[in-house]
Amino acid sequence: MKKIFLIIAVISAAGFSSCTKKQFADAYPNPSKVSTTTVEKQYAGFLSSDLGYTMYQYWNYFVVMQNTFLPWSQTDALINTPGRYVPGAAAIGTKWSTYYASLAQYKEFVRLYNALSPDDQKAKRIYYISATIYFYDKTQKMVDLFGSIPWSGAGLLGTNKGDYVKSEPKYDDAATIYTTMLDDLKGFSDELNTIQLTPAVTTIINTQDFINHGDITKWEKYCNSLRVRMLTRVSGVASFQSRVSSEIAAIVANPTSYPLVLTNADNIQIKVLDPTTGVSNGSGTGAGASFYTGLIGWGNADRAGKVMIDSMNNNGDPRIRSMFEPGDSAKPAGTYIGLDPSLDNTTGTAIANSGVLARYNRSTLSQNIYIPGMIINAAEVNFLLSEYYLNAGNDASARSAYEAGINQSIQYYYWLRTISNDATNTASLIAPTTAEINAYIASNGVAWENANSTAEKLNRLAIQKWINYNVLEPDECWAEIRRLKLPALNFVADNSGLQSVPPNRWVIPSDEITYNSTNYAAVAANDKLSTKIFWDVK
């Protein structure tokens, strides 16, 4: 019996010494993740959470843009394949999930911010304001695509400590989202005039804010320019009209309090300092550049469309040589030729394959890995102001804003070429001269004074905006085309499916319909490709 007790004692001892509680606790958390964070780190996490869609990268262009915004805006060659006016599920799903993943980071940032002491909140107010401006910018693009979306109640799973039933968000009305954002941005634009940063905050935000490095003036410019963009977007909606005119009037009347992005030096953009970091267009170069592989799509999607190229050719647009390069087999050699969107599939494909078409300049754009991620630029703000002046009956200001916009745009595209380290396009770029720019502005199809009606002026503005946006700001480009119905683009009807012309909006992805079905039911009736966004009133 003694022996037995001995044995049992040995076993017990072995058991207790084998695994301790601490060993179990140590092996529980994932060593590659962290369980706590700070407002500052989460702030940078939020800002960087959708970089693949702000910078110029493969997935956005190949999966999302190639089959949607670009052909529907005729900013690239449109080959008429069956089903071309229905956005793919991959495109829709990607766009949606990226926005909501980013929104979740913003809401988590807000949760952390709200947990700070009132003093800390006050000191770190700049984080809250700047993150919210950026968040609203992204939200505006989503509303422009989908209309009503889950928003105020969205992304609260962390805040609700994992209660997923409680976290299923209701849909907010599209116009209400715009109203809320415009109200808040107005408040921020005043608040930014008085905000003071402590040295500690200044130092840290300089690193964490990779967009403006904590430069309050730049955030003010961004905030006000975004307001102008959003106010212009809703300017056709009766219920918004009075605030649109009064708020833009207030902004332009007081440039000291409400500065705007009016020159390229003010552009709000994400610069590429090191292509191997996460803030970049990817590190692949040449034909392996991320933007290039996405833009060229299945082989011809980086080619030019006829309408845009003709407009640029006819008026001597100096941008043509920085934005485009002629097709290798173009006849006559060196000319810029775009694909006629009215051709059938076989003919269009044959022309594209023959190598006559101009393509987006690889050295300036698609293989320029130093191209900054564009958020809002001087040309577009000038064009928006011009539209405001035009509608306000202030023709002289409208004209000068229009011309300033063209000037900034031309300079901008030339500048893009100068920062490129790509030499694929061997033609050395000649800088646009003032004389050349003036000649373009005075050309028959561009000159403001040659437009003999408000409608024609608006059309010229739209064309300029369209050229300026091209493939670099496809969301804004397509939204403005829908809002203005300008430039007037013709599309061959697609008889092969449910959608014969480009749609008015995107539909909600099926994951959302499936997993948030109760709330979706409220918007289901309007969830059609043909439903217009509330600001689409023309």
Partner 1 sequence: MKKITQKLLLSTFLCFCAAISFAQQREITGTVKDNNGTPVANASVIVKGTKNGTATNSDGNFTIPVTGSNQVIVVSSVGYKPSQITVGQNGHLVFTLEGGTGAMQEVVVTALGIKQQKRSLGYATTTVSADEITKTAPTNFAAALYGKVPGMRIASAPGGSTSGVAIQLRGISSITGRTQPLIVMDGIPIHDGTFDNTNYWGDQRLRSNGLTDLNPDDIESITVLKGASAAALYGSEATNGVILITTKSAKGKKGFNVDYNSTYFQDRVAYLPQFQNVRGTGFNPGYGIYGSDADGFAHYTLDGTDYRTMVAGSLSFGPVFDGKPILSWDGVVRPYSAQKNNWAALFQHSNNTVNNLAFSNVSENSSTRFSVTQNHYEGTSLGSKNDRVAINLNSTYKFGSKFRLNVIANDIWQKVHNRPYSDDRLINNFSGMMSAFDNGAWYQNKYKTSLGYKYVTGSNQSLTPNENLKFGNHRNDLLDYMWNVKTNNLDEYNNRLIASATAFYDITKGLELRGRISTDWTSGKNESKNSSSIPLVYGYSGSYGIGTNNYAILYGDLLLTYTKNINDDLTLKVMGGYTADKESSYSTSVSTNGGLTTENRFDLTSSANPQYYSGSNRSYITKDAYIGTINANYKNYLFVEGTVRSDRTSTMNPLQNSFIYPSVNGSFVFSDVLKLPAFVNMAKLRGSWGIVGNYPGAYAANVAYNLGNLGNQGSGSSTLISTVTTGQYGNDNIRPEKKHEIEFGLEAGFLNNRVNLDLAYYNNKVVDMILPLQISQSTGAGSILSNVGTLRNYGLEVALNGTAVQRRNFTWETGVNFSFNNNKIEKLTTGSNELIHADYDGNAAVLKSVVGQPVGDFYAHPIKTDSKGQPIVNDYGDGTLDYQLDGSKLVKYGNSQVKAVGGFYNSFSYKSFSLEVYTDFRIGGYVMPTGLNWLTGRGLTKESLNGMDKAHGGLSYYLDSKGYGVQTNGTTGPNGEKVYNDGMLLKGNLPDGTANTHIESSSVYYWYVYNWGGPQYSNSEYFKYIVKNSYWKMREVSLTYNLPLSIAKKIKANKLQVSIFGRNLFYLYRTIKNMDAEQLTAGLQWNSSLTDAGTNFATRTFGASIKASF
- Nearer to partner 1 by Cβ, of 225 and 425: the residue is 425
- Nearer to partner 1 by Cβ, of 117 and 276: the residue is 276
Whether 192 contacts 256, CB under 8 Å? no
Report the run of H or E that residue 171 belongs to, with start and end: strand 171-172
- Nearer to partner 1 by Cβ, of 281 and 468: the residue is 281
Name which of 353, 313, 373 is nearest 138 in CA terms. 373
Least distance (Å) from partner 1 to the CB of residue 380? 24
Residue carrying the six token digits 């490095």: 213
- Nearer to partner 1 by Cβ, of 239 and 277: the residue is 277
Burial of residue 141 (number of CB atoms within 10 Å: 0-12, 13-18, 19+): middle
Least distance (Å) from partner 1 to the CB of residue 46? 8
Burial of residue 263 (number of CB atoms within 10 Å: 0-12, 13-18, 19+): middle
- DSSP-based three-state secondary structure for 29: coil
Least distance (Å) from partner 1 to the CB of residue 244? 29
- Nearer to partner 1 by Cβ, of 180 and 443: the residue is 180
Backbone angles phi, psi at 344, to 5 degrees: -75, 170
- Nearer to partner 1 by Cβ, of 447 and 492: the residue is 492
- Nearer to partner 1 by Cβ, of 115 and 273: the residue is 273
Residue 25's alpha-carbon distances to 17, 30, 31, 162, in angstroms, are: 16, 11, 12, 22
The verdict on whether omega for the bond into residue 31 sits within 30 degrees of 0, i.e. cis, is no
- DSSP-based three-state secondary structure for 485: coil
Least distance (Å) from partner 1 to the CB of residue 103? 8
Report the run of H or E that residue 519 belongs to, with start and end: helix 517-520
Least distance (Å) from partner 1 to the CB of residue 143? 14
Q: Which token pair is 222?
A: 């961004």
Q: How many residues does the chain have?
A: 538
Least distance (Å) from partner 1 to the CB of residue 385? 30
Q: Which token pair is 12?
A: 């017990």
How many whole angstroms separate alpha carbon 328 and alpha carbon 309?
Answer: 16
- Nearer to partner 1 by Cβ, of 200 and 350: the residue is 350
Least distance (Å) from partner 1 to the CB of residue 323? 19
Least distance (Å) from partner 1 to the CB of residue 160? 9
CA angle, corner 171, sides to 169 and 174, nearest 5? 145
